[in-house]
Homo-oligomer: A and B are copies of this chain.
Amino acid sequence: MKILILGADGYLGWPTSIDLALNKHNLLLIDNYEKKKLMKKNYRKPLVLNKKIENVIPVLKKVNKNVNFKNIDCSNYKKFTEVFRKFKPDAVIHFAELPSAPYSMLGYYEGWKTLQNNLQSTFNLVWNVKQYQPNCHIIKLGTMGEYGTPNIDIEEGWINIKHKKRSQKFLYPRQASSLYHTSKIMDTDLIWFFSRLHGLKATDLMQGPVYGIYTNNFSTENNLEPTFAYDDMFGTVLNRFIVQAVANIPLTVYGSGNQIRGHINIKDTIQCIKLALKNPSKKGVLNIYNQFTQQFSVNQLANKVAEALRKINLNVKIKNIKNPRIEQEKHYYNAKNKGMKKLGLKPTLLTEKAIIEMARYVIKNKKNIDKSIISPKTTWK
């Protein structure tokens, strides 16, 4: 299959690219290293930094000669269109978005940059698919954060509303708690607009916070390990906790720690993307999956990390700090996630073994830990 991967350099994009390369797909990888630049500009050095794609393309080409790379800004219509029209993809996987809630709440510039970049990249994509490749399947990474924390069950993307003896199916109402998450709501609006009006085929993967490291023999042997961030801005909560445990500093729980989310191991992210590729939506239909495997509160996550890592003799402490975010701390949360299981997802659970495996990887790279970039620097005010 001819697959265009937008944002191929990222935490999810890079392991997805390697996996699909090994699966012998014809791939065009796109990135402009914007996230790498932002991490550098904001002094958030990751624990492990993957190499620039152009430097490792020869290694990938040894196993699959149909893998190429272009350094393109997906929010640049002219350049993006040139590449898109020439490649004529069967499917596009769209990771090309600024992914950080704290970054989007830093100030005017960062907020608008997040909105503009994410919306214009998505607009360029749907416009090109409509215009030049209407049978192309769009797979877009959404986020569970679009739903917020409503007091009713979170269904998978859609809800049938009964109101005064009539009923209507709607996109499940979305209400996010950062500008980043709000930009993803707007993306959804655009993709659904183009799907229903112009008959596009699209899949929206509403992903929960991702944790873990995705490596395989090929990536380990060839030093193609993905970026692993643990800082307050680009790291996710579980990855941060494990780095704090290894660095012998307390796990910092924001506020009461009763915030519940659906989490997913990055190994399952790759599985889900491959399942979505195999199961394209019909024309004019937007398939939506809630892409997480287990719900945990922040306290539960912290306790799980502490218990598991005490077994390898790490003295883990937990500390509640003032919540830098504006979010509900006591709330109902019950999100559905049957869709991916029906397609065949075999969930990787957050076991003690999985936590210890992650910690061993972090210990191997312990010299890179910078304790000063872990505590939150951005508040929502």
Q: Which residues of A contact B (CB under 8 A)?
A: 77, 108, 111-112, 115-116, 119-120, 123, 127, 131, 150-153, 159, 161-164, 166-168, 170-171, 173, 175-177, 179, 182, 185-186, 189-190, 192-193, 197-198, 326, 332, 380-381
Given the complex of chains A and B, what is the CA–CA distance between A175 and B190 in angstroms? 10
User: Are A193 and B176 in contact, with the CB atoms below 8 A?
Assistant: yes
In the complex, what's the smallest C-beta–C-beta distance from A118 to chain B, in angstroms?
Answer: 12
A152/B123 contact (C-beta < 8 A), A185-B189, A189-B186 known: no
In the complex, what's the smallest C-beta–C-beta distance from A33 to chain B, in angstroms?
Answer: 24
A166/B185 contact (C-beta < 8 A), A123-B111, A159-B161 known: no
User: Are A112 and B170 in contact, with the CB atoms below 8 A?
Assistant: no
A120/B112 contact (C-beta < 8 A), A171-B173, A173-B171 known: yes
- Which partner residue on chain B sits nearest A380 by CB separation? B197
Interface pairs A-B: 7 shortest CB-CB: A170-B173, A152-B163, A151-B168, A152-B166, A150-B168, A152-B168, A186-B186
Instruction: Give 15 pairs: A residue, B residue, CB < 8 Å, sorted on A.
Output: A108-B131, A116-B120, A119-B119, A119-B186, A151-B167, A152-B163, A153-B166, A162-B162, A170-B175, A175-B192, A176-B193, A177-B197, A182-B190, A186-B186, A186-B189
- Which partner residue on chain B sits nearest A176 by CB separation? B193
Q: Inside 8 A of A179's CB, which chain B residues have their CB?
A: 193
Q: Inside 8 A of A197's CB, which chain B residues have their CB?
A: 177, 326, 380
User: Are A150 and B177 in contact, with the CB atoms below 8 A?
Assistant: no
In the complex, what's the smallest C-beta–C-beta distance from A49 to chain B, in angstroms?
Answer: 32
In the complex, what's the smallest C-beta–C-beta distance from A112 to chain B, in angstroms?
Answer: 6
Which residue in B119, B168, B182, B332 is a CB contact (below 8 Å) of A193? B182
Given the complex of chains A and B, what is the CA–CA distance between A111 and B111 in angstroms? 22
Given contacts A77-B108, A150-B168, A186-B186, 19 further A-B contacts (CB under 8 A): A77-B112, A108-B131, A111-B127, A112-B120, A112-B123, A115-B119, A151-B166, A151-B168, A152-B163, A152-B168, A153-B166, A159-B161, A161-B161, A170-B173, A171-B175, A175-B192, A176-B193, A177-B197, A182-B193
Given the complex of chains A and B, what is the CA–CA distance between A190 and B192 in angstroms? 19
- Which partner residue on chain B sits nearest A172 by CB separation? B173
Q: Inside 8 A of A326's CB, which chain B residues have their CB?
A: 197
